[in-house]
Amino acid sequence: MSTPFEKPQIISHVQRSLNYTVFDSKWIPCSAKFVCLGNYARGTGVMQIYEVEHGEVKLLKEIEKAKPIKCGTFGASSLQQRHIATGDFDGNLNIWNLEVPDVSVYSVKAHKEIVNSIDGVGGLGIGDGAPEIVTGSRDGTVKVWDPRQKDSPVANMEPGEGEAKRDCWTVAFGHAFNDQDRCVCAGYDNGDIKLFDLRNMSLRWETNIKNGVCHVEFDRKDINMNKLVATSLEGKFHVFDMRTQHPTKGFDSVSEKAHKSTIWQVRHLPQNRDIFMTAGGAGNLHLWKYEYPAQRSKKDSDEVDMGVAGTVNLLQNVTLSTQPIASLDWSPDKQGLCVCSSFDQSVRVLIVTKLNRV
């Protein structure tokens, strides 16, 4: 008989109240530090760097910026530099050296409206090929940037002539398992999910999950596409098996309703791609494990391969706040350590135990 103590526990290790609205929080790789991004009530942006030390978080730096900062990623930076790329409310993409964060080392007016989402690949030793950053915006476009190339994107996915532009809420890299292959997945406010193949510059697959897509993430960026999780308004998320694409049915998926409120984020555990955490609009976190089916593909009536989705099991859940948890980031270096921020203007460092036993 299993006891409750054998399950992973989600422990709030330390909590810090902030004097601004925080939109994103990210661990700085190879350190016990994290960065918080957001905006002051006076309408300016803020970037703070904290260090976890002896059960407390210590503020190391605070930098005010002209525009509120919505999102950030270290994904396109080397482990030596650890530069963070950010998207702001004015459509700017900036890259900052956190040692001297007063002036950006790269800056471009990426979009006409707010940058809702950002992701990076090719840095941190994750993903083959060039370092690239992808941004998704309210202006309906998804753009890929090479930080070594100024001013113009290397790819621009926008609605065609006469097509309605949809608010792009989330973007993610995947399939970067060699120098040539790379995909971007984008989710939109009307429930559309689009998979762009950057090698062939084509739309590889699209579907609609009937509800605004809040967040998408591949279980790993640097492998042959394996799984994709998409979260939505009203508490539902979908796990797509990305190994087998059927010509007409696309990728098979399993969906789960976590709760009634929006699922703002999903993050896969860096040390185990089958475990992921979802962050909810009612201030809750849910820890899940994906179980593969006995066979991941089968033949349809025409002898064409189609995927078979597995099942999702809830390992643990906890309510931390009365407000939405808008960002969540696992430490890449220490299993079970994560940082999350919520709209109650606070940031929390959490420890999730027993992850090696599930």
pLDDT in tens, 62-72: 999 999 999 99
- Contact between 265 and 329 under an 8 Å Cβ cutoff? The reply is no
Count other C-beta atoms under 10 Å from residue 64's C-beta.
12
DSSP state of 250: B
pLDDT at 5: 65
Matching residue, tokens 């940058």 = 115
- Model confidence pLDDT, tens digit, residues 93-137: 999 999 999 999 999 999 999 999 999 998 877 777 789 999 999
- 45-62 pLDDT per residue, tens: 999 999 999 889 999 999
Task: Report the pLDDT value the prediction gives residue 142, as an integer from 0 to 100.
Answer: 97
Mean pLDDT of 27-37: 95
Q: Is the pLDDT of residue 1 over 60?
A: no
Angle at 114 between CA 108 and CA 118, to 5 degrees: 70
Contacts 24+ apart (CB under 8 A), 134-137: 134/171, 134/172, 134/173, 134/184, 135/87, 135/93, 135/110, 135/111, 135/171, 136/168, 136/169, 136/170, 136/171, 136/186, 137/87, 137/91, 137/110, 137/111, 137/112, 137/113, 137/168
Is pLDDT of 254 > 90? Answer: yes
Residue 182 main-chain phi, psi, to 5 deg: -170, 140
What number is the average pLDDT over the span 257-271?
Answer: 93
Is residue 263 within 8 Å of 243, Cβ to Cβ? no
Other CB atoms within 10 Å distance of the CB of residue 10: 21
The mean pLDDT of 233-248, rounded to a whole number, is: 93
> Mind listing the pLDDT tens digit for each residue in 173-225?
999 988 889 999 999 999 999 999 999 999 999 999 999 999 999 999 999 99
CA distance 357 to 87: 38
Q: Residue 345 is inside which H or E element, if any?
A: none
Band (138; pLDDT cuts 50, 70, 90): very high
| Residue 2, pLDDT score | 55
pLDDT digits (tens, 9 = 90+) for 282-335: 999 999 999 999 999 998 888 899 999 999 999 999 999 999 999 999 999 999
Domains defined for the chain, CATH in brackets: 17-160+168-274+326-333 (2.130.10.10)
**Contact assessment for residue 106 and residue 81, using Cβ atoms and an 8 Å cutoff:** no
Q: What average pLDDT does this structure show over 229-241? A: 95
pLDDT at 97: 95
Sheet holding 253-257, edge to edge: 213-218, 227-232, 236-241, 253-257
CA atoms of 353 and 3, how far apart (whole Å): 15
Q: Is a pLDDT exceeding 90 seen at residue 263?
A: yes
92 pLDDT more than 60? yes
Start-to-end CA distance of the chain, whole Å, equals 15
- Bridge partners of residue 240, in order along the sequence: 228, 253
Average pLDDT of the chain is: 93
Q: Are 292 and 310 in contact (CB under 8 A)?
A: yes
How far is the C-alpha of 184 from the C-alpha of 154, rounded, in Å? 13
